[in-house]
Structure 1
Amino acid sequence: MKRLLTIILFITAACATSVAQTLPFRTYSIERGLSESVVNDMIQDNEGHLWVGTSYGLNRFDGIAFDNFYSEDGLLSNKIFSLYEDREGAVWVGTDRGVNVIKQDSIHTLSSLKPLESSTVLSIYQDNRGEFWFATDGEGIWHLDRNKNLSQYLKIHGMGADRVRDIVEDSEGILWFATRDGLTKLENGNFRTFTTRHGLPDDRLRDLIISNDTLWVASRGGLCYSEDKSFHCFTEQDGLVNNRIQSMSKDEDGNLWLGTEEGASFFEDGRFTNYSVEEGLENDIIYATHYDHEGNIWFGTFGGGITLFLGNQFKNYTVEHGLPNNVVTSITQDHKGQHWVSTYGGGIAEIGDKQFSILNADKGLVDNKVYSLNMDEQDRLFIGTRWGLSIYENGIFQNFDETELPYRKVRTVLDPKHSDGIWLGTYGGGIIQYKDGNFRQYTEDEGLANNTVLAIEENTDGSLWIATHGGISKLENGTFTNYTIADGIPNNGVLDIYSDNSGALWFATFGGLARFEDGNFETITAADGMPNEVCYFIEQDNHGFFWIGTNQGVVRFDYEGYSSSADLQEQYFKLITQDQGLVANEMNTGASFKDRDGHLWFGTVGGVTEFNPDFERNNDTPPNVHIERIEVSGKSIPLDPYLEIGSDNHNITFEFIGISFSAPEQVLYKYRLKNSDEGWQKTKQRSVRYSALMPGDYTFEVKAQNYNGKWSRQTAQIRFTILAPFWLQWWFVGLVIVALVAIVVFIYNYYRVRKMVDIERMRVRIASDLHDDVGSSLTEIALHSDFLQTMDVSDGLEESLQQIGTQSRKIVSSLDDIVWSIDARNDTMGDLTDRMQDYVNNVLSDRKIHYHFKGDMQEKLEVPVKENLYLIFKEAINNISKHSNAQNVDVTLAMDDQNFMLSVKDDGTSSRNNRKSGQGLSNMKMRAKRIEADIIFDDEDGFEVRVENHAS
C-alpha cells in the first residue's frame, strides 16, 4: 500500500508543478555599468538623473548608461552612504570620510565641513530655513547654519544616541532623528527621545518619512506611525514581509514602499503586498528605496545592484515557472476559470490556482506541437496540432490524425454559434468542417483564397471570415468571396481576425491592420504611426483599446482617439516591450486571449504574459532632455553655453538623452539645426552628426518623447559658430583689400611719378631748347640790329633797326621768364625768391629802395602758381619802381600744405590810383584768378599787394 501511494505521489509530482510567475523587475548591476553591487542610497535629481551611492563609487544613471565617480574624481571616499539634493539643485554626498557637494558636474569639498571628514555621514537634510543637518555613525548630528557655522549635537546634549540613521522635518518645523536608541525630536531647541517604553517595537531605527502629515518610523522590529502622542505598529504578523526595515519611500498617494532584509512590501490601506526573489527581485536584502518621477519604485540591494519595479500589471510564466515549453501558441479559459496554454513542442499546460498540470503526448494528446486551443460551451477543449485534432473532455482525449482527417496540420479551430459543426483551418489544406462525425474539406478549388489558413472568425450574420496567406475569404451560403490588396487590405498575408465591440472586423496582416465595416476596408500601417507592420494578433480590452502583437512587442492602439482626431502629432500607439514587463518581445500568430476578468494573455516565443489593463500605468511624466556630449572631428569639447568651432572641423556630433526609466529604448527625439534650412527631424538614435557646415551661427535644438507620447517640456539647445576659413575672415579680407588698394596706389603713383618725371624732363628740354635756340637767335637778331646801326643807313632804317633790337631784347627778357617758369629745375620757392631778388636788384637798385625777403625755401610750387606769382610780383615791383616814393619793400612768400601767400608791401605814400600802370592791377587780378587765389590791394600805411589761396 505504501509503495502504491509513493508511485501515485511520484506520478502526481511529475504531472503537476507549483504555479509561479515573475513580475516586471528590471535589474542593473556591475555588468550594466554600476560601479558596485552593494547600494546604500538613491535619489533622483530635478534633471531626471538617478544617483546611486554604493560601497565603491558614486553613479549617475540616465536610463541607458552610468557615469561613475570615484575618489580620483574628487570624492572624499569611494564608500557612499547618503545622497541629498538641495533646493538649488546641488547633490550632497555623504561618505565615510565626510561630505562632498556636486554642482554643475564638478565635485566640491566645503571647508566649513572639514570637521566631518572623520565621520561616516548616514543622512543629509535641508530644513525649511535652508540650513543643513548631517547624521553620522557615532558622532551625533552636525548642524550647518546659514552663516556657515558648524555645531554638533551628541547624546550628552539630549540626542537618543550618537549613531543617527535619518532626519526628517514635519509640517510644524519639528526635526525628527532616527537613532540606534530611539526616536529623537528637536522642538524649540529641546530634545526628547521616544523608545520601546513609548510603544516602539525596537529602539534601533533605520528610516523616517513624512506621508500625509504622518510620521512613519522604520525599525528592526517593524513599521510604526505616530498619532496622538502614541505609536501604532505593523509587523510580520500583520503581513509585513520582514520586520527589519531598512528603507522607506512613498508614492504620489502617500502609500509606502518598504525595503527589508527579506524583500519589499507595499503598504496601502492597511494591507501589505510583498515581493521577493520569487516574484522577480534580484536580491531580497534591500538597503535603499526610491520612488521616481515616473511612478516607478527602485530598490537598492545588498549585492544585487539596483532593481526597477514597473508595477504588477504583468505576470509572466515560463518553463522556469512550470510551462512545458516557452513557445506559446494559444490561450483559452474553461468554465471553472482555469487557463489553458498551448505550446509548440511541450503540449498543453493547465494553470490552476496553485499548480501547473501538463497534458502532452504521453497523456494521450495527438501531438506535442500544438497550434491552437478552443473551449466550447460544453467545456470540450479542441486542440489543433501538427499531427491532427484532439478533443479533450472529462480527462479523456479523442484524437483525429492523418488517417481520418483530410489534412493533418490543424492551425486553428472554431466552434461557431450560428452554423453547424466545428471548423478547422489547416496549414496547407484549406478549411475543414467537422459535423456529425464527418469531415468536409474546402480548398482553393472551391474558391478559397489560399490553402494556408491561420484564423477563422464568425460574424454576427453567421458568415465565416477566413484569414489565409492569399488574402481574406468570406464563406456565406456555401459561396466564397475573396478580398486582397486590390480590395484595400494592406497585405495578402493575413494572420488573425477579430470582431470588436461594435461588430467591425479587424484583420492582422504582415503589412499592418485592416478594419472592415459597411463593406469598406480601412488600413492602419506604419505610415499611420504603427510601430511595426507585422501584426500577429489583435485583441480588444474592456476599456476599448486594441492590443496588437508584433515581433517587437505588443502595441496598444487607441482607435477611438485615432479616428476622431485630426491631430497626426498625437500618440495613439504605445509599444509595450520587455522593458515594461513582457516576457518576450516576439509574439506568436493568434496567441492572444481576453479572460473573464478582462485580463489579456499574450503568447510569445519566450513564455506567456498575463496583463491586467486595469493596472496599466500611463507614464504622463515627460522626459527630461539633455545634450550630453559634443564631438568635433572625433574629439570631445566642453559643453559651453556658446561655442566657436574652427573651419577645418567638418564633422560635428551631438549626443543627447531623454531620461525615461520606464522605457529608455523607446524614447523618440525631435531635433533641428537652426540656420541650416532644415526643419524638425525625428529619430530614435541618441546622436546626430553634421558634416561640412557652412560658416555661420547655428543653434542645435532637441526634444524627447517617452513611449506614452509625452514630449519634454523644455528644449535642450546649444548655440555655436562655425568660423570661416582664414581667407574668409574679416581681418584677412581687410588685409587683402588694403593690399589691393596699396598695389593700385603704388601702380598709380608709379605711373604718376613716372609721368611727372617725363614731364619734368620735357620741361627741362623745352626750356633748354627755348634758351639755346630761340633765345640765342633773338639775341643774335638784336646784335645784328646794333651792328647795322653803326653803318651808314638812312634815318628811317636806323629807327627800324633800333626798334628791332629793342623788341628783340624785350622778347628775350620775356622768353627768359617763360624759360625760367618752364624749367623743372626751378620749382622750389627758393628758386622763385632767387628770381624775385634778381629782378628786384635790376629794377630797384638804382632807386635806392631797400627790400627784405621772407619765406619757406623748400616747398615746391606747381608751374602755373610759380609763373603767375612771379608775374604778379614783377607787376608790383614795377609799380613800386615807377609810381612809389618808397624807401623799403617787404616781400613775404609762404607755403602751408596746399595754401600759399605772397605779400609785396612798401612804405610809399602814393595812392592806388597813382600805382596804376596801364592794365597792371587788372593783369594782377587776372593772374590771381588763374591760380584760384584772392588778391588784395591795401593802401593803408603804404601799399600792399597780397595774394592768398586757401585750398579746400
Structure 2
Amino acid sequence: MMISRSDGFIASGSHRLLRALSCKLGVILGALCCFFSIPALAQSQNDSLQHFFLEQWTTRDGLPHNTINSIVQTDDGYLWFATWEGIARYNGRSFTLFDRSANTGLPDSGIFALHASSDNTLIAGGSRGGLVRYQHNQWTPLPVAGALVRAVLQDQQQRLWIATESAGLWRQEPDGRRYRISGSSGLAYEAMYSLAESQDGKVWVGTAEGLFLVHNNHVRHFQTVDGLPAGPVFSIAINLTEQTIVATEQGVFIGDEQHGFRPLHPELNMASSALYVDDSTLWVGTLSDGLFRYTSTGLEALGTDSNKPANRILTLRKDNEGSLWVGTNGGLFRLRNAPFTSITTQHGLADNFVRTVLPLSDGSVLAGTSRGVAHIRNQLAEPFDRPEPFLRESILSMAQDQYGQLWLGSYAHGLLTIKPDGSSRLFDRNDGLWTNEVRSILPAADGSIWIGTSRGLNRWHQGQMERLDMEAGLPGNYIMALYQTSDERIWIGTGTGVAYWQDGEIRTLDLFSQDGAEFAFGFLELPQQQFLWMATDRGLVRYDLNTGGLAIIGRSAGLPFDKYFQVIADQQNNLWLTSNRGILQFSLQDAKAVLNHQKSRLPFDHFSEGDGMLSAQANGGSNPAAALHPDGSVWVATAGGVVFSQPERLRSFSAFIPPVVIEQVRVDGVLRQPTGPLQLAAGTQRIELHYAGLGFVMPQHIQYRTRLVGFDSDWVERGQQPYAELTNLAPGHYTFEVIAAYPGGSWSEQTASLTFTIAPHLWQRQGFWLFILVWLSLAVLLLFKMRLRRLELAAFELKRQVAEKTAQLQLKADHLEQTNAEKSDLLEQLRLQSEAFAKQARQDPLTGLANRRVFDEVLLQEFNRAKRHQHPLCLALIDIDFFKQVNDRWSHSVGDEVLIRVGQSLQQQCRTTDTVSRWGGEEFALLLPETGLPEVLQLCERLRHQISQLDFSDIASELSITVSIGVAECSDSNEADRLLGLADHALYQAKEKGRNQVCVSP
C-alpha cells in the first residue's frame, strides 16, 4: 500500500505534502498472548510504534464473547467491554461479568453501547432496548428504548441521548422525561450507529442514511452536496480544532457544518468502522483492512490477515496509560508500550531461537541463531553480509577483539574469524580444537584467544593452539563461560565448577560450597569494585577478588528459581539475571544488603511474556547470552527472538500511579458488598478483602500497601499480593485502607478504603458489666447485713465462753508455745527444701522453662484429653537457625544469653494454658491445647518475626537470630509420639527450604 501525505486533520486544513511511508504487519490471531513490535513512523519525536506490541484476549482468556461492541474506561480506572453475552469489567488481571440478572436489571445479555460520564457513572444499552446505569457498585434499570440501543451519550446538560436500531433517536431529560428527536429532513426510524457531542453542545448522529446534526431541536442532514458519500456513517469523532471526522463505507471524511466535508486522506478510502481521537492522533479502524494511525507526520497501517474475522474493527479506545484497545468481532486487542521489545523472524531473523547476542561498536547488534548470524540495525534484522555457509549454521558464541576482528563459534563447524577487511579463517579439529562445538570465546588482553568447547579449553596465541583439560587442573571439560577480570585472571565456567588461569596455572574454586552450585554460565566484574559475580545453577554467587570469599543469593534470599545464565549490570546500578523462566532485575544496593545480612529477602522485578517477550525462556550455555548495549539497553537471547529493554524507559511505566479499588469482601466466607460502612456481627472471625491496582501495562508488577486504622500503626507492605486477611479482631470500629504503585513509582494519593464495625457480644458491652457490677454490689450488701446481724447475736455468747476458757487455755498455751515454735521452724525448713527439689526436677536451669520431663507429661495428658473430647491440639517445634555459629563466633556465654532471650520471647507470646519448654540444645517445644492450625500458624509467624527482631547489640553488635518452626496438628495421630514425629518432620522441611520459615506437616 502506498501511503502519501495529505492535509492533516490536526491542522487548520492547509494542504501539506507527506512523504510516502507504509508499514503493514501481519497479526497471527490464532496465537494467544503473542506480542509483536511494530516498526512504523514516530507518533512524536520521542514515541514510535516500534516500542509497541500487540496482544489479544478471547473467550479462552475470560471474555464472555469474542465480539467487542464498545469499550470505555470509568473514572475509577476500570475498563468495560460490551459484548453479546454481557458486560465484562477488567482490572488488569481478570474479567468480571455482568449479564442479565436481577442484580443488573438488564432484559437481555446482548450489550452494544457503553458510555462513561464524568461522575464515574457507566450507562449501558443493548438488546430489547435495555438500558441500565451503574454507579457506586449499584445497577439501576432505566426505561427500555423499544429497540436495540446502538449508542448512548450523556451531554453537557446531563441529558441522555439514546440512538436505536429501529426506534429512532431519543433524548431523556435529567428529570426522566423522554422525547423522540425527528425533523423534516428525516431522522425518524433510521438505523443509527454513533453519537458525538461538540464543545458548543451540538450532537452529531451517524445513521444508515448518513450524518445528522441536532441542535435546539433542529435537525440537519448532511448529504452528497456537503461532500459526504451516500450511505451509512459508522463512527464520529471530534478533534482538537472542533472539526468533525466521520467513518463511512467509502472512507474517512473531515469537515464542519459551515464548510462541509472532504476526504481526510486519499489512502483512507476503504470502509471504515471506528474512530478515536487522542490529542494529535487519529486512530481508524476498518471493516477489512486493519488499523490505521494518522498524525501530523503521516499515515501508517497495522493490517491483519483478511481471512481472519478479527479484521472487522468495531470500537477503539485509549486508556489512562496510553494503551490503545481495539474491539473486533474476533476478540479484544491491545497496542501498547512494554518493558521489552522483541525482534523476531517478522523483523528479519532467520530463526527465533537465539543463543547469543553481541553489540558492536557502531551501535548494531549481531544475533547468533540456530540458522546463522543476523545483523540488527534500527531494530530490523538482515542476514550477516558474509558469504560463508558457516554463517547459516547454529551459532553458539561470538566475540570481537581489540583489533575489530570478529570470532564466531558454531555448534558443529568450529570457529570462524572475520577480519575488518573481510578476510576470514576457519578453525576446527584439524587445527587443534578439542571439538567443533564452540560455546564461549574470550579475546584476552595479551592478544590471545581463549576458546571454550564442550570437550575442553583451547588457547590460540602467536599462531599456536594450546589445549587444556581436566588433566591440566580444570574442574570439568564442558566449558560454557570465559571472562577476564581487571587483575588479568582468566575465569573459566564449566559444568562442574569454576576455575581461573593465572601465571600459567589453573586454580579451582569451591563453588559447590554455595548451596551445591556446579554450573557457571556467566561472569561479571563491575568497574572499581572488588567482586566477581557469577550466574550459576543455584543462584547468583559473589566472589571477593581480594580475599577469595564466596557468598550466594539463592532461594533462601527469595529468588524464585535456581538456574541463571547471564548477569548484566545496567547504567542505573541494577543487576539483570536471565533464566529459563524470565528475566529478573534488582538493584545492586539491595543485592549487597542481602549478602551483608542487612536484608533477608531480595526485592526484584520478574519480567516474562506479559512484558513484551515472545518467550520467557532466555537461553544459556553459550556466550554472551545477554549483553549491555553502548546506549544503555539490555539485550537478551531467548527462544522467541532477541529482546531488549531500555532501563531508562522503565521509569516511564512507573510514573503512572494506578488507582486502586476494593473489589470483594468476604466475612466468614460470606460475600458482602465492598461499600461501607459495614456492620458485622459479634464473633466475626475472618474478613477477606480483595483489591486491585487498576494499571494495565504491568499489572503483575503492581505493589500494594494496606493499613487497618484502629489496629495498624503504619502501612503494611503486601508486595504483589492482591488481598488481605484479617482474623480475630476485637469488637470496634475499623477502616481498611489500601494504596498501590508500580515498582519504583509513587504511591496512590487517594486510598481505597472500607469502614466496618464489629459488634460486641452481650458480655463485651460496657453497659452489661456495669449492670452486673451493680447487681453484685447490691447482693453483697444484703448478704453483708444479714451476716452482720447473726454475728452480733453470737458475739455475746462467744464473749462468755471465751472468758471462761481463757484461763484454762492460757496455762496450756504457755506450755506449748515454745514446743510449737520449734516444730514450726522445722516444718518450714522441710517445706522449703521440698519445693526447691521439686522445682529443680521440673525446670530447665538455664531458661527457667519447663524441661523435657514436664513437657512429656503434659503432652501425654493433653493428647489424651484432646482425643477424648475431640478438641484441637497443636504442637510446634522451634529450632534456632545456625546456633552453632553463635557459639563458635561469639562464645557459649553469648549462646546461653540467646537461649534465655528466645525462651523469654516465646513465654511472653503464649497463653497461660500453653506449655513452653526447652526441648534440648537450641530447640524449644510449644504445646497449644484448644487451638486450631490457622491460629497456631498465625502465632508461629508472629513468633518467628518477633525473634528475628530481637536486639542483641548489648552482647554482640552484629548478632541476629532467626528460627525455623515445624507445626503438626493432632488429627489422625493415634499416639503422642506420632504427633512429635510429624512436628519434627515439618521442622526438617523448614530447614531444608532455607530456614527462617514455618512449615506444616502434611
Alignment of 1:329 onto 2:360: no
Computed over aligned residues only, the root mean square deviation of the Cα atoms, in angstroms, reads 5.1
Q: Which of 397, 418, 442 is 1:372 aligned to?
A: 397
Change (3 A) 1:451 1:173: same
Alignment of 1:581 onto 2:607: no
> How much does 1:681 deviate?
2.8
**What does 1:120-199 correspond to in 2, within 5 Å?**
120-156=148-184, 159=187, 162-187=190-215, 190-199=218-227
Match in the other structure for 1:820 = none
Contact preservation (8 Å) 2:701, 2:720: yes
Q: Which of 616, 620, 634 is 2:669 aligned to?
A: 634
Tell me the TM-score normalised to structure 2 length.
0.61
622-631 or 673-682, which deviates more: 673-682
Q: Secondary structure at the match of 1:265?
A: strand
Match in the other structure for 1:255 = 281
Q: Secondary structure at the match of 1:661?
A: coil
Match in the other structure for 1:939 = none
Q: Secondary structure at the match of 2:219?
A: strand
> How much does 1:330 deviate?
0.8
**What does 1:261-410 correspond to in 2, within 5 Å?**
261=287, 262-277=289-304, 283-302=310-329, 304-311=330-337, 315-316=341-342, 327-332=353-358, 341-343=367-369, 346-348=370-372, 350=374, 368=394, 370-374=395-399, 382-385=408-411, 388-389=414-415, 398=426, 400-401=428-429, 404-406=432-434, 410=438
Q: Which of 43, 52, 61 is 2:90 aligned to?
A: 61
Tell me the TM-score normalised to structure 1 length.
0.64
Contact preservation (8 Å) 2:280, 2:296: no
Q: Deviations over 1:486-511 (max 9, x none)?
A: 99999996533457899999745344
Q: Which of 591, 613, 636 is 2:625 aligned to?
A: 591
Q: Secondary structure at the match of 2:107?
A: coil
Match in the other structure for 1:849 = none
Alignment of 1:224 onto 2:224: no
Question: Within 2, Cα distance between the matches of 1:279 and 1:669?
Answer: 43
Change (3 A) 1:722 1:138: closer
Change (3 A) 1:224 1:435: farther
Q: Secondary structure at the match of 1:293?
A: coil
Q: Deviations over 1:586-638 (max 9, x none)?
A: 32234224678887542224443355779775252211212222223322233
Contact preservation (8 Å) 1:633, 1:649: yes
> How much does 1:68 deviate?
1.2
> How much does 1:327 deviate?
4.4
What amino acid does structure 2 have at the position aligned with 1:604? T
Match in the other structure for 1:915 = none
548-557 or 619-628, which deviates more: 548-557
Q: Secondary structure at the match of 1:587?
A: coil
Change (3 A) 1:89 1:380: closer
Contact preservation (8 Å) 1:652, 1:689: yes
Contact preservation (8 Å) 1:69, 1:75: no
Q: Which of 631, 634, 638 is 1:604 aligned to?
A: 638
Question: Within 1, Cα distance between the matches of 2:619 and 2:784?
Answer: 89
Match in the other structure for 2:971 = none
Change (3 A) 1:246 1:213: same
Unaligned 5+ residue runs, structure 1?
1-17, 762-952
642-651 or 457-466, which deviates more: 457-466
What amino acid does structure 2 have at the position aligned with 1:441? R
Match in the other structure for 1:743 = 779
750-759 or 23-32, which deviates more: 750-759
What amino acid does structure 1 have at the position aligned with 2:84? S
What amino acid does structure 2 have at the position aligned with 1:78? S
Change (3 A) 1:608 1:373: same
Match in the other structure for 1:456 = 482
Change (3 A) 1:109 1:464: same
> How much does 1:398 deviate?
3.3
> How much does 1:654 deviate?
1.8
Question: Within 2, Cα distance between the matches of 1:682 and 1:153?
Answer: 54
Match in the other structure for 1:713 = 749
What amino acid does structure 2 have at the position aligned with 1:661? F
Question: Within 2, Cα distance between the matches of 1:629 and 1:640?
Answer: 9
Question: Within 2, Cα distance between the matches of 1:19 and 1:395?
Answer: 41
What amino acid does structure 1 have at the position aligned with 2:619? N
> How much does 1:83 deviate?
0.7
> How much does 1:340 deviate?
5.1
What amino acid does structure 2 have at the position aligned with 1:168? A
Match in the other structure for 1:688 = 724
**What does 1:480-629 correspond to in 2, within 5 Å?**
495-497=521-523, 507=533, 509-510=535-536, 511-512=539-540, 535-539=564-568, 548-555=577-584, 575-589=606-620, 590-593=624-627, 601-609=635-643, 618-629=653-664
Question: Within 2, Cα distance between the matches of 1:635 and 1:146?
Answer: 37
Match in the other structure for 2:918 = none
- Which of these two proteins has the greater Rg computed from alpha carbons? 1
Question: Within 2, Cα distance between the matches of 1:82 and 1:650?
Answer: 43
Q: Secondary structure at the match of 1:192?
A: strand
Q: Secondary structure at the match of 1:747?
A: helix
500-509 or 626-635, which deviates more: 500-509
Q: Which of 82, 95, 120 is 1:89 aligned to?
A: 120
Match in the other structure for 1:22 = 36
Contact preservation (8 Å) 2:535, 2:567: no
Change (3 A) 1:314 1:649: closer
> How much does 1:382 deviate?
1.2
Question: Within 2, Cα distance between the matches of 1:453 and 1:735?
Answer: 84
Question: Within 2, Cα distance between the matches of 1:280 and 1:315?
Answer: 27
Match in the other structure for 2:137 = 105
Change (3 A) 1:156 1:461: farther
Q: Secondary structure at the match of 2:92?
A: coil
Question: Within 2, Cα distance between the matches of 1:484 and 1:759?
Answer: 93
Percent identical pairs in the alignment equals 22
Unaligned 5+ residue runs, structure 2?
1-25, 29-34, 38-52, 593-598, 798-1002
Contact preservation (8 Å) 1:385, 1:410: yes
Question: Within 2, Cα distance between the matches of 1:464 and 1:246?
Answer: 63
> How much does 1:280 deviate?
14
Question: Within 2, Cα distance between the matches of 1:760 and 1:642?
Answer: 68
Contact preservation (8 Å) 2:535, 2:577: no
Change (3 A) 1:709 1:532: farther
596-605 or 128-137, which deviates more: 596-605
Question: Within 2, Cα distance between the matches of 1:502 and 1:188?
Answer: 75
Question: Within 1, Cα distance between the matches of 2:359 and 2:523?
Answer: 19
What amino acid does structure 2 have at the position aligned with 1:717? S
Q: Secondary structure at the match of 1:168?
A: strand
What amino acid does structure 2 have at the position aligned with 1:348? G
Match in the other structure for 1:75 = 106
